[in-house]
């Protein structure tokens, strides 16, 4: 049949040429209305806004964890160096050191972290403030770490920007 024919079946078929059939949609299945599309886009955009709203909080948490990790690496490096220093020279270990964003040593002009190691008190007492026993074979070391500025600048503007870590080194008699 070469002529165009229409049928009254649920999906209207148009035969354009022999073997070529074009199916037309039925009146009941015409797609989504504009209202349905607007509601769907509104729901999806609301979900995306909730996800985007969590982004700043997660980035701040991520930055804090990176800072804590790098500061811990710096502290571990300096504590290890102090443990390997002969006990008689422990008072001479006090120094300032500078580190990059990954915790590796850097120069004083190109640093991200500034660390200051001090030996604040020559004697450590154990057993309370009023009658403690002096431990001459134990030294207290204090490490201060600041990010993006020197320890002095961070401590003067906001003391909470300086992380202070205290550790002890004992004379093992080796």
pLDDT (0 to 100) of residue 2: 47
pLDDT (0 to 100) of residue 150: 86
Which segments in the chain show pLDDT lower than 50? Answer: 1-9
Q: Which residues contact 123 (CB under 8 A, 6 or more apart)?
A: 134, 135, 136
Q: Which long-range contacts (CB under 8 A, 24 or more apart) does 64-72 make?
A: 67/147, 70/99, 70/101, 70/102, 70/103, 70/113, 71/113, 71/145, 71/147, 71/163
Residue 144 near residue 161 (C-beta atoms within 8 A): no
pLDDT (0 to 100) of residue 20: 67
Residue-wise pLDDT for 53-70, tens only, equals 999 999 999 999 999 999
């Amino acid at each position: 049949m070469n002529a165009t024919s229409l049928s009254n079946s649920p999906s209207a078929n148009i035969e354009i040429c022999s073997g070529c059939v074009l199916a037309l949609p039925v009146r009941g299945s015409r797609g989504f209305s504009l209202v349905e599309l607007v509601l769907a886009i509104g729901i999806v955009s609301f979900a995306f806004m909730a996800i985007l709203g969590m982004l700043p909080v997660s980035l701040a948490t991520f930055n804090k964890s990176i800072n804590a990790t790098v500061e811990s690496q710096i502290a571990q490096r300096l504590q290890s160096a102090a443990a390997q220093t002969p006990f008689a020279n422990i008072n001479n270990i006090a120094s300032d050191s500078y580190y990059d964003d990954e915790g590796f040593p850097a120069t004083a002009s190109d640093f991200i972290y500034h660390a200051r190691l001090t030996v604040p008190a020559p004697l450590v007492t154990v057993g309370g403030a009023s009658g403690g026993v002096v431990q001459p074979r134990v030294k207290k070391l204090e490490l201060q770490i600041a990010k993006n500025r020197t320890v002095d600048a961070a401590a003067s503007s906001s003391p909470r920007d300086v992380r202070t870590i205290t550790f002890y080194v004992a004379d093992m008699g080796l």
